[in-house]
Amino acid sequence: MIDETFLTTEEVLEYLQVNLRTVYRLIKAGKIPAVRVGRQWRFRKRDIDTWIDSQRAAPPPRETPARSSSTPDHHRVLVVDDESSIREMLSKTLALAEYKVDTAPDATAALNLLRVANASYDLLIADLKMPGMDGLQLIRQVKQMRSRMPIIIITGFSSESSAIEAVNLGVKGYLTKPFRVAQVLEAAAKAMGAPAS
């Protein structure tokens, strides 16, 4: 007898490291089959794994510099973190949720990208604690370039004073490591959906 393992919606969110909206989009597009049980969805793990394998076999094409401003759903996000594993994980997750993502290993590289991209990013997600120029210094410079750009700070060091300073600088979100990817996606959607001050 074949062992059929079923996952709840919560388990699928954790397993795929995506947000609820993305899971619903995948169900609607027929990418991952789901069974309705009462008020909840159930997913066959085998189907999820098959879909993941298909994504690995056919990776999405590399981003082109051309910007599609006519598609509001494809927001551009710049992720800045000195840890490559964090950059890679955030990049893959945000891309799965249909964000266009660029990454930078430090604040200087991020500022160079922002200058070259000529204010075409819709969101900045930056680590607070980085060697050289830290996240707060980066925020100050970004706010001089683009005062209305939404920013989310990610940090492994929870500090009340840095949180207060970040809020005073106008950040839209503040997440502490270790974080769940669903929290980041929720914060990103909220930051870009919030009215500009």
Q: Which helix (H) or strand (E) holds 124?
A: strand 123-127
pLDDT digits over 104-143, tens only? 999 999 998 888 865 588 999 999 888 899 888 999 999 9
Among 130, 123, 134, CA closest to 192: 123
pLDDT attached to residue 56: 59
> What secondary structure letter does DSSP report for 71?
-
The structure tokens listed for 127 are 């680590």
The structure tokens listed for 2 are 């074949």
Average pLDDT on 98-109 reads 91
pLDDT digits over 157-192, tens only? 655 666 667 777 888 887 777 777 778 788 888 888
Distance between CA atoms of residues 191 and 85, nearest Å: 23
126 versus 69: which is more confidently predicted? 126
What is the chain's mean pLDDT, rounded? 77
Among 173, 167, 175, 112, CA closest to 145: 112
pLDDT at 79 over 90: yes
CB contact at 8 A, 144 and 111:
no
Average pLDDT on 100-107 reads 92
Domain coordinates in residue numbering, the chain: 6-57, 76-193
Q: Residue 99, SS3?
A: coil
pLDDT attached to residue 37: 77
Taking the alpha carbons at both ends of the chain, their separation in whole angstroms is 60
Average pLDDT on 46-56 reads 74
Distance between CA atoms of residues 148 and 122, nearest Å: 10
Share of the chain above pLDDT 70, in %: 80
Q: In the CATH scheme, what is the homologous superfamily, with its name and number, of domain 76-193?
A: Response regulator (3.40.50.2300)
The structure tokens listed for 108 are 């200087």
pLDDT attached to residue 111: 92
pLDDT at 50 over 70: yes
Average pLDDT on 38-52 reads 79
pLDDT attached to residue 163: 64
CB contact at 8 A, 140 and 110:
no
CB contact at 8 A, 99 and 152:
no
Distances (CA, A) of 40 to 10, 14, 37: 10, 16, 5
pLDDT at 1 over 70: no
pLDDT attached to residue 137: 92
**Non-local CB neighbours of 59 within 8 Å, separated by 6+ positions:** none
